[in-house]
Copies of this chain bind each other. A is one copy, B any other.
Amino acid sequence: MTQSVLSLDDLAAGVPDGALLALPPDNSLPPSALVRALVRRGVRGLRLLGVPVSGMVTDLLIGAGCVASVQSSAVSLGEAGTAPRFTAALAAGSIEMIDATCPAIHTMLQAAEKGVPFMPLRGVLGSDLLAHRPDWRVIDNPFDHDDPILLLPALSPDVAAFHAVLADAHGNVWVGRRRELATLAHAAKRTLVTVERIVADSLLDDERMAPGTIAATYIEAIAVVEHGAWPIALLDEYEADSAHIAEYARLARSDAGFRAYLDSHVFARSAAAAE
């Protein structure tokens, strides 16, 4: 295989400071362990992209001071409530927020996937989002009259990262029905993936596994991290650790609480060694 199987830290080293880093939200295989490794490494100035919204790992990166800007359609901890470090950073003015709406982010990634400079999207025209997105453009539909329509520019993340269930020996990775990750990998310049495990047989040789597989073509490097999505759920592999997420939500309300969380669950030798 041309993909490298790396240690988690070496995979994290592949995310340069200042990168436009695309991350899926908490229902779509976020790379939680990789993000903790990024925090340990002390990455700085990340420009995060929520695909199409953002969850706990985004809040963690913001709290740890790794983030310059967030482009997303929402930042939230889901059932656990608002994203406290995100909210605090916005109030402090320490990060830039670039608001979007879910289908617009999908569309911008699809334009990059197709290699076209833009793609249209219906709706959105009555929203104040438009006034804050100088990169979005309204044109008259050339196929009709009096029909303004939004054009969105292609968006190609520098790095996409997610936690897949498994990879095969050829570097193909399996994400089940979370096919937005395939679009993301197609659109991104580089894709880094953590997986629970590596299997020997080619995923592409199995008609039942192939449809949920992202071909190795799109994958730059892989690290094996068991429970790499924890505390987030991973398809039918394991459920969310709701108690832990609630604890995070509680601690992260204050700077001190967030520091304590980092010390216990990100920086502590035992936490790092587990990954």
A residues with CB within 8 A of B? 107, 114-122, 137, 139, 141-144, 147, 149, 151, 153, 176-177, 179, 207-212, 235-236
Contacts and interface: CB of A to CB of B under 8 A. Distances in A.
A177 B211 contact: yes
Given A139-B142, A143-B137, A149 B117 contact: yes
A143 B147 contact: no
Contacts of A208: 176, 208-209, 212
A137 B144 CA distance: 12
Given A207-B177, A208-B176, A208-B208, A117 B141 contact: yes
B147 A142 contact: no
Contacts of A139: 142
A119 B235 CA distance: 33
Given A137-B142, A176-B210, A120 B121 contact: no
A143 B149 contact: no
A158 to B, nearest CB: 20
Contacts of A120: 116-119
A143 B151 CA distance: 9
A137 B176 CA distance: 38
Contacts of A151: 142-143
A236 B207 contact: yes
Copies of this chain, whole number: 2
Contacts of A211: 176-177, 179, 211-212
Given A176-B207, A207-B235, A236-B207, A117 B212 contact: no
A142 B122 contact: no
A208 B122 CA distance: 33
A247 to B, nearest CB: 28
Contact of A116 (B121, B179, B210): B121
User: Which of A115, A151, A207 has its CB near the most chain B CB atoms (within 10 A)?
Assistant: A207
A150 to B, nearest CB: 9
13 contacts: A107-B114, A116-B119, A117-B120, A117-B149, A118-B141, A118-B143, A137-B143, A207-B212, A207-B236, A208-B209, A208-B212, A210-B212, A211-B212
Nearest to A153: B143
Nearest to A165: B207
Contacts of A177: 207, 210-211
A85 to B, nearest CB: 32
